[in-house]
Amino acid sequence: RLEAIGSLTAGIAHEVNNPLAYISTNLNTVDKFVAQLNRPEHLEGLPEELRVQARDAGESLDDAQEGFERISNLVARLKGFARSPDEGRSSAVTDAHALAQKAASMAGVGLPEAAIRVAGGEGQPIRGSEGAVTQILVNLLLNAVQASGSEPDIELDISRREDEVQIRVADRGCGIDEEALDQIFDPFYTTKRSGSGLGLSISYDLAERLGGRLEAANRKDGGAAFSLFVPAAV
Ligand code: ADP
């Protein structure tokens, strides 16, 4: 199902991209024309109502440009859904602690420093694309924050397990219903009112592409723990 979503979004992104290219070119052309029109010596020769419209046209174009940029960014993100099967696998070697710290500061915006604590993994290199590992960790951390109350208490522990590195994101939140443990990685499974149910399925898929895996469990004393296993580099 995830692959089908990937192909569909890639198709849409591709179709939207073509008209976007000429919208951009035309916007630039009209922008230059309006800038010319608004030069004082040209404005003078225009009837009053056209003069006002020439000034307004500049603002309208700025709005159109902003809309164009938002659509372009969205299309770029949609393209990210359709990754080639090998993407995520790479020989890039990264320091696990530094990577986890980066994900923690991305997901921890607006939270007290102590809300997400990173332990272990200093100098431990892992194999895999930095972007993919960061994306998985940020997804897990945001879920952990959302599952927690007003005072998130999240641990990000890194430890070596034979030829793998385990990165465990553990929270003290509401935990996962035992019956739901089998479903949380399914695309569109969500218990949130405005959730997409895609974060975990994409993360699961990415983890496999990295040559690793993603597991979920409840903690005995409350909360959930997700473990990402990735190949150790040395
Ligand atoms: P979304 O966040 O849009 O719901 P996800 O795929 O990221 O999509 O998560 C699917 C579901 O898994 C969530 O709606 C929630 O029920 C459950 N879940 C994920 N992470 C946690 C967590 N840390 N604690 C409790 N439940 C979780």
Which atom from ligand 1 is nearest to the alpha carbon of 174? 25
* Alpha-carbon gap, residue 99 to 232, rounded angstroms: 14
pLDDT for 198 equals: 87
pLDDT for 143 equals: 96
Average pLDDT over residues 57-85: 80
In eight-state DSSP terms, residue 232 is: B
The residue whose two tokens read 């700025």 is 62
Over residues 4-27, the pLDDT tens digits come to: 777 777 778 878 888 888 899 999
Which atom from ligand 1 is nearest to the alpha carbon of 144? 23
**pLDDT(115) > 50:** yes
pLDDT for 109 equals: 85
* Nearest residue to 68 via CA among 56, 80, 60: 60
The encoded tokens of residue 156 equal 């990000």
The residue whose two tokens read 């890039």 is 92
Over residues 139-153, the pLDDT tens digits come to: 999 999 999 999 999
Distances (CA, A) of 17 to 44, 45, 50, 64, 133: 40, 39, 34, 16, 28
From 142, 200, 226, the mutation candidate for ligand 1 (largest count of ligand atoms within 8 A of CB) is 200
* Nearest residue to 31 via CA among 53, 60, 51: 60
**pLDDT(55) > 80:** yes
Which atom from ligand 1 is nearest to the alpha carbon of 169? 23
Contacts 24+ apart (CB under 8 A), 73-81: 75/13, 75/16, 75/17, 75/20, 78/9, 78/10, 78/12, 78/13, 79/9, 79/10, 79/13, 81/5, 81/6, 81/9, 81/10, 81/202
Hey, what's the torsion of the CAs at 123, 128, 132, 137, to 10 degrees?
A: -40
Protein residues whose CB sits closer than 6 Å to any atom of ligand 1: 139, 143-144, 147, 171, 173-176, 184, 189-192, 195-201, 224
**pLDDT(85) > 50:** no
Give the closest residue (by CA) to ligand 1 atom 13. 190
Average model confidence (pLDDT) across the chain: 89
* Alpha-carbon gap, residue 56 to 50, rounded angstroms: 10
Give the closest residue (by CA) to ligand 1 atom 11. 190
Neighbouring-strand partners of residue 157: 119, 168
